[in-house]
């Protein structure tokens, strides 16, 4: 169900940086949506006529290979957006987007975003800063998927996803965890059991809860620390 959102509704970190003029140009045409856990909002090869700006929850961008292999390349919460393909006219992306934690957010038409990008230097600065940040994250993730163990990568994804969701637990299946980590289910099950044995997490009936975050941080690879140390430079909001 979609509905028009009031001007002051959004808490998405990109949209809250907008100037008053840009908010008036962009948000009146936005629509609010609630996305359930496990919902797929984009499949590989689909076009995306609108971009999604989460206010809550977390979504995973999962790359799909012709061999059937799948691996998450990014997770997005209220810090970002889904839909760069819509913004930059990229067609038939080779990934899909799934909801990891129930999300409420705003759908904004791509043509409206492109129009404001061309007209507003402030909005362009916000998008460029965010794009650079996302590219940096994805490059770190690419290296991580090549050199670090399933256990290290699983710990990293769980830390990042729960931080962006603002909660200590996620409703996830072993299949979803395998997609995040980019490994076979049996290897991810072994990694999960290792983390559970160390007292870092508990997993029961599809719900994974972080029990001792400090232990999970110790089990994560250096990439988690690199991502956590990267400074954030939000563009100053203009009136």
Task: Provide the CATH number for the domain formed by 3-143 in this structure.
Answer: 2.60.120.10
Residue 153 clears pLDDT 60, i.e. is over it: yes
**Least confident piece of the model among 15-29, 34-48, 149-163, 221-235:** 221-235
User: Cα(51)–Cα(53) distance, rounded to whole angstroms?
Assistant: 7
Q: Which fold has domain 149-220?
A: Arc Repressor Mutant, subunit A (1.10.10)
Contact 2/29 with Cβ under 8 angstroms?
Answer: no
Task: Indicate the average pLDDT of the chain.
Answer: 87
- In the prediction, which pLDDT does 228 show? 58
CA nearest to 105, candidates 161, 63, 51: 51
- In the prediction, which pLDDT does 237 show? 45
- Convert the pLDDT of each residue in 170-196 to its tens digit: 998 888 899 889 888 999 999 999 999
Half-sphere exposure of 178 (CA within 13 A, CB side): 15
- In the prediction, which pLDDT does 45 show? 81
Helices 121-147 and 222-229, packing angle to 10 deg: 170
Beta bridge partners of 208: 170, 203
- Count other C-beta atoms under 10 Å from residue 50's C-beta: 21
Q: Where are the domains of the chain?
A: 3-143, 149-220
- In the prediction, which pLDDT does 147 show? 92
- In the prediction, which pLDDT does 239 show? 45
Q: Over the Cα atoms of the chain, what is R_g?
A: 18
91 pLDDT tier (thresholds 50, 70, 90) = low
- Convert the pLDDT of each residue in 117-149 to its tens digit: 999 999 999 999 999 999 999 899 989 988 999
- Convert the pLDDT of each residue in 33-69 to its tens digit: 999 999 999 888 888 889 999 999 999 999 988 888 8
- In the prediction, which pLDDT does 187 show? 93
Q: Which residue has the higher pLDDT, 170 or 239?
A: 170
């Amino acid at each position: 169900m979609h509905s028009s959102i009031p001007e002051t509704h959004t808490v998405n970190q990109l949209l809250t940086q907008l100037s008053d003029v840009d908010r008036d140009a962009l948000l009146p045409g936005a629509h609010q949506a609630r996305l359930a856990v496990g919902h797929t909002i984009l499949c590989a090869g689909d076009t995306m006529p609108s971009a999604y700006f989460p206010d809550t929850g977390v979504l995973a961008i999962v790359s799909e290979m012709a061999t059937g292999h799948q691996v998450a390349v990014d997770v997005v919460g209220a810090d970002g957006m889904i839909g760069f393909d819509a913004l930059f006219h990229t067609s038939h992306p080779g990934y899909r987007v799934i909801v990891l934690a129930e999300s409420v957010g705003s759908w904004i038409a791509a043509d409206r975003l492109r129009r404001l990008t061309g007209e507003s230097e402030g909005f362009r600065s916000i998008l460029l800063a965010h794009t650079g940040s996302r590219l940096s994250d994805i490059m770190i993730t690419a290296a991580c998927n090549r050199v670090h163990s399933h256990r290290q990568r699983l710990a990293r994804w769980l830390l990042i996803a729960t931080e962006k969701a603002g909660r200590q637990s996620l409703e996830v299946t072993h299949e979803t965890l395998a997609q995040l980590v980019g490994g076979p289910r049996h290897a991810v099950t072994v990694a999960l059991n290792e983390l559970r044995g160390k007292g870092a997490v508990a997993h029961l009936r599809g719900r994974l809860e972080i029990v001792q975050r400090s232990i999970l941080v110790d089990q994560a690879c250096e990439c988690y620390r690199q991502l956590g140390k990267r400074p954030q430079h939000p563009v100053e909001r203009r009136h």
